[in-house]
Amino acid sequence: MPTRLSVFGVPIPEKAIQRRRVLPVALLLVGALAMLEWHYGFDFSLGILYVIPVVLASAALNRWQIVAFGVFAAVARTPFTPAASQLEALLKFAMATIAYTCTGLLLVEMSNSRRRLLELYAKVQLEQDLRRRAQEQLRILAESSPAAIVTLDAQAHVLAANRAADEMLAVPAGALVGRAVETQLPMFANALRVASNARLIRTSVTGWARRFNDQQFPIQAWFSVYGYGEDRCLAAIVVDMSEEVRDREREHFQHLLDYNRLLASAVSHEIRNLCSAISVVCSNLDQRQDLRGSADFDALKRLLGGLMELASLDLRSREADGGRVTDLGAVLDELRVVIEPDWDEIGGRVSWNVPAELPSVAAGSHGLLQILLNLCQNSLRAVEHQSEPELAVDATVAGQDVVVCVRDNGPGVVEPDQLFHLHATRSSTDGSGLGLYISRELARSMGGELQYVPTARGATFRVTVPQARVRKLEELRVS
């Protein structure tokens, strides 16, 4: 806290001007001056010296106390003031009172004003220091951010940019400031033009940008336009999505291969069934004497053998997901994000009975999500015309497996035996019947199972997936 008083620039500590210390000293000075005038009987007044105790008292007293102390000092000097008449003595007393009081009040106001000024100065210094620290932290945050941060003016010229923005647009460090980026970031230039008529914009966008070396790349940006007219500016955070797009496309391609493999396996299975039936017929026909030695019949048997050999290729690989470990809780959280908006649109209710801690499972996250998403979408189609559509997702640990059940309150399944057939007839839910077959094959490729559980109302499907540590123990036993 700043001091109230200083003498010739030397600050006086607060504890030195406390009332209990200053007031006795001031009273003693007044008494000493009065005793001095009484003892020596001067023919002149020492009234000017009474200002000293008033000055001391003003360092510790408030305004009304200073007025009282000034009156006291004037009273103390009155008996020793020579005067020609009573009126003159009264006037001298009044003038002394006014002089002492005004001197003390002036010093109090000067001290208070100086104290307030010092407090405001200290507060301004503190605010400047805090602002400087905040600016330094923001600068460090912007410079160390892996995302590009740029600020543009109304003509799409860069006002400020961090190091990540320079690297993203392929320019030397610090060379982006002052450049026009209308060609490199056209979406921002369009947003600045749209916001020219006092229309503020704050949104996110996904699109394409161009580096200064003419290389295009996908971006995702969050930006806002602030200000009006020619003073409007745009602040944006931009992320290069090239790696994410490549990873996503690779993952989609891998999933496409998996689905093609499963479909080819299903077709191969059906061909084997047909070939087995044809083989039985050929065996019966081979007993006929009139067909023995027939070139056409022998050619038919060779064609059947080739077809059976081709159909014996089993494209399903149960080891495809053997080395994968997936957090089932994270998959269910992702499933919730995907399906709940669709159920909210139809006024449905989704209940989740999922423990806070679930063991990891030996399965691919996308394949497991695809199975659960297919079941939930089937339920959505089945209950979309119900008055109170409901979906329940339960997860439990059953021995060495984790079981996820998906239940709805729809009309149920008319022909449960035809659910998982590749050539199943089209159901009332407007599905093709192929999704459940592929979902079951996906579950089996993970070492698990997808089953339909008959219930009195609605439809219930149970997905069983082995725990990751159980799969590892089985692999160790085999090896």
Most confident region among 110-119, 133-142, 162-171, 199-208 by mean pLDDT: 162-171
Beta sheet of 349-353, edge-to-edge order = 349-353, 390-398, 401-408, 459-466, 449-453
Please give the structure tokens belonging to residue 338: 């995907």
Is the distance from CB of 258 to CB of 266 less than 8 angstroms? no
Checking if the pLDDT of 422 tops 70, the result is no
Residue 136 domain-assigned (yes or no): no
**Is 253 or 238 the better-scoring residue by pLDDT?**
238
The pLDDT of residue 313 is 54
Share of the chain above pLDDT 90, in %: 18
Is the distance from CB of 56 to CB of 19 less than 8 angstroms? no
CA-CA-CA-CA torsion for 240, 366, 394, 397, nearest 10 degrees? -120
Dihedral sign from CA coordinates of 3, 4, 8, 9:
positive
The verdict on 332 and 473 lying in the same domain is yes
The verdict on 334 and 303 lying in the same domain is no
The verdict on 375 and 472 lying in the same domain is yes
The pLDDT of residue 253 is 64
CATH of the domain at 443: 3.30.565.10
The pLDDT of residue 14 is 56
* pLDDT class of 41 with cuts at 50, 70, 90: low
Mean pLDDT within 57-84: 75
pTM: 0.50
Is the distance from CB of 77 to CB of 47 less than 8 angstroms? yes
The verdict on 111 and 200 lying in the same domain is no
Please give the structure tokens belonging to residue 410: 């729809």
* Residue listed under structure tokens 């060609």: 183
The verdict on 298 and 428 lying in the same domain is no
Mean pLDDT within 433-440: 75
Q: Which of 21-35, 254-268, 433-447 has the lowest mean pLDDT?
A: 254-268
The verdict on 38 and 178 lying in the same domain is no
Residue 366 domain-assigned (yes or no): yes
Cα distance between the two ends of the chain? 78
The verdict on 301 and 395 lying in the same domain is no
Give the whole-angstrom CA distance, residue 375 versus residue 392.
11
Nearest alpha-carbon partner for 73 in 34, 25, 105, 20: 34
The pLDDT of residue 477 is 46
Checking if the pLDDT of 394 tops 90, the result is yes
Checking if the pLDDT of 15 tops 60, the result is no
Which string of DSSP letters, residue by residue, matches 238-297?
A: EEE-HHHHHHHHHHHHHHHHHHHHHHHHHHHHHHHHHHHHHHHHHHHHTT-GGGTT-HHH
The verdict on 201 and 115 lying in the same domain is no
Q: What residue type is 462 in one-letter code? A: R
Mean pLDDT within 10-33: 68
The pLDDT of residue 388 is 87
Alpha helices per DSSP H over 323-401: 328-345, 365-383
Nearest alpha-carbon partner for 181 in 201, 203, 165: 165
The verdict on 431 and 342 lying in the same domain is yes
The verdict on 156 and 234 lying in the same domain is yes
Say if strands 390-398 and 349-353 run parallel, antiparallel, or are unpaired. parallel
Element (H, E) at 28: helix 19-40
Checking if the pLDDT of 110 tops 70, the result is yes
**Is 134 or 365 the better-scoring residue by pLDDT?**
134
**Is 204 or 301 the better-scoring residue by pLDDT?**
204
Please count the CA atoms within 13 angstroms of the CA of 286 that sit on its side-chain side: 10
The verdict on 205 and 284 lying in the same domain is no
The pLDDT of residue 115 is 80
Give the whole-angstrom CA distance, residue 221 versus residue 145.
14
Nearest alpha-carbon partner for 338 in 347, 350, 327: 350
The verdict on 231 and 250 lying in the same domain is no
Is the distance from CB of 370 to CB of 439 less than 8 angstroms? yes
Q: What residue type is 245 in one-letter code? A: V
Is the distance from CB of 443 to CB of 465 less than 8 angstroms? yes
Q: State pLDDT tens for residues 403-416.
A: 999 999 988 887 77
- 349 φ/ψ angles, rounded to the nearest 5 degrees: -125, 130
Number of domains in the chain: 4
The pLDDT of residue 243 is 84
Give the whole-angstrom CA distance, residue 145 versus residue 283.
74
Domain encompassing residue 257:
245-311
The pLDDT of residue 479 is 46
**Is 255 or 172 the better-scoring residue by pLDDT?**
172
Q: Which of 60-64, 229-233, 411-415 has the lowest mean pLDDT?
A: 60-64
**Is 256 or 204 the better-scoring residue by pLDDT?**
204
Checking if the pLDDT of 196 tops 70, the result is no
* pLDDT class of 318 with cuts at 50, 70, 90: very low
Q: State pLDDT tens for residues 349-379.
A: 999 999 988 889 988 888 888 889 889 988 9
